[in-house]
Structure 1
């Protein structure tokens, strides 16, 4: 279940409770679901019960319990826990492997895009510093993937080399106010990661972006040739190599006369990969909610590491004929490659089919 589908499910539960007289309130136009904040649990949380409590004339926890009982009737929901004054914390059931792979291949590079930020205008502001501007660019991409309307401004026009080399574009200019907030407007979200200790441009677009985005915003990034090394010790190489391997498998399978077909997949290491792929929508929603592009970068490394053990067993060996198992494994590898390509695209990094 995607965040958009879950939002609709919660809204439907509210509407049914109102229609059947359990709640007396105006049904909201939409319900926002987002990754739970500290103290919460599950996959997503919503404050809809708190919003309905006053018009319903009931404590928020009572409204939450009414909605909880209705949500638990949905077979796609594993559990609903009420926390704090009335937050609904929702855990989803894992999709069947074939269904998950089908969804990923159907949605393509947009798998994981959702509506957790739908209807929100987010105004981002960054100082005139290369790492801050790259974070600004990526946060705008991630927030838009979750339905937000984003305005991204910088303290001064980004250097032309940042656009030419790093692909930073579409950023406005807004000088900071005298009180230190952007334009003196506390409604703007300041993007201020620890500055880069050296010029990242000599690394080129992909390596430079990764060097600036992979560490958490509060960590000092390392700028150096290690990001260009084509070895397993380089996380960016592992991500791009895993993607290229999945594309090579598709080409080789076509030469053998078979194509991917979602279905049951068994074997060591399959479950961690399915878990990583199923987590992708939640990771994107969390990266948007917490303004943390590093969450997406680290997730891509986890997906790459999880798919690597699968790759050697996708194609038939020797005189072996392609079977349903081979087609299902190929579809799973294809889905992993799709997630890697989509995630790299949001980071502004190329995902080549060949390395």
Structure 2
């Protein structure tokens, strides 16, 4: 279950409560779900009960209780707890990670794309400054990935023109990363460090992580290990990587809403770092025999590569199989 799936599950529970008369409120267009804070209960949390309490004429804990009743048998959830003044806290089933991996592999490069902004139309004013054209182009892609109709601002110029964005000096990908990795209201980053193939180079780490996934898949084929998400991932680093991949739809939506490609770039860095920390446990070592655990780990690695490639594609940056 992804955060987007969980958000829809909670929204459906609210709608059921309204439909059967337990709550008299207007059903919100969406429900915000976020990571539970350190020390909190469960893995995810929502303040939806607090936002509905006043219009419902009930306390937030009463509203949370009504919603919780309609979530007890929800697929993908192993528990729902009410904490504090009325927060809903969610614990996912142990096999939810396998479900997430299967979702990513099924949806491919468009994993995280959705319809949250359907019905929204955005037209940007024409811009000519190099960075503004680039940022607008990527923001348009982000908005469209969430179902919005968007255009203008010079976004039709998809390709970086020679002599602009420092492409002649840095190359297309490094130039784009240098301009997009910084928040739109901040100064562009110095692109020179992005030419070095070193772990301090965030672009290199992201693209290298993707290339490692491609190599793991080749090596897995040679060892007779194919990626299949059939058992929970038990290797060190697996839960952290699953967490980052699960956040991908939320990050894409937030980047679109806030017109902030840098949010996606930072998320790809986090995904790359999690994958690089996890990679050493994926395939059998020494005399180890291939098992269902290795197949699931390889499937998780492939899902991470899919997220990296899809995110880079939105930014207009290539994902080479080898570096």
Specify which of 237, 243, 255 is matched with residue 287 of structure 1.
255
- 1:58-69 matches, cutoff 5 A: 59-60=55-56, 62=58, 68-69=64-65
**Which residue does 2:222 correspond to in 1?**
255
TM-score w.r.t. structure 1 length? Answer: 0.73
| Structure of greater Rg | 1
> Is 1:3–1:114's contact at 8 Å kept on the other side of the alignment?
no
Q: CA 1:67–1:118 in structure 2 vs 1: closer, same or farther (change >3 Å)? A: farther
**Which residue does 2:37 correspond to in 1?**
none
Which string of whole-angstrom CA distances, capped at 9 and with x for unpartnered residues, describes residues 28-64 of structure 1? 6x8234578xxxx9666769966xx9xxxx7356397
**1-side partners of 2:80 and 2:186: how far apart?**
36
**1-side partners of 2:13 and 2:61: how far apart?**
12
User: Residue 71 of structure 1: CA displacement?
Assistant: 2.9
- 1:191-206 matches, cutoff 5 A: 199-202=165-168, 203-206=170-173
> Is 2:235–2:297's contact at 8 Å kept on the other side of the alignment?
no
> Is 1:114–1:146's contact at 8 Å kept on the other side of the alignment?
yes
TM-score w.r.t. structure 2 length? Answer: 0.79
Q: CA 1:201–1:35 in structure 2 vs 1: closer, same or farther (change >3 Å)? A: farther
- 1:110-149 matches, cutoff 5 A: 110-125=110-125, 127-149=127-149
- 1:83-94 matches, cutoff 5 A: 92-94=90-92
User: Residue 7 of structure 1: CA displacement?
Assistant: 5.8
**Which residue does 1:181 correspond to in 2?**
none
> Is 1:240–1:351's contact at 8 Å kept on the other side of the alignment?
yes
Residue 31 in structure 1 maps to residue 26 in structure 2: no
**Which residue does 1:320 correspond to in 2?**
288
Q: Counterpart of 1:275 in 2: which secondary structure?
A: helix
> Is 1:3–1:115's contact at 8 Å kept on the other side of the alignment?
no
Which string of whole-angstrom CA distances, capped at 9 and with x for unpartnered residues, describes residues 294-318 of structure 1? 1110010011111112222322233
Q: Counterpart of 2:152 in 1: which secondary structure?
A: strand
- Structure 2 residues without counterparts, runs of 5 or longer: 35-39
Q: CA 1:82–1:14 in structure 2 vs 1: closer, same or farther (change >3 Å)? A: farther
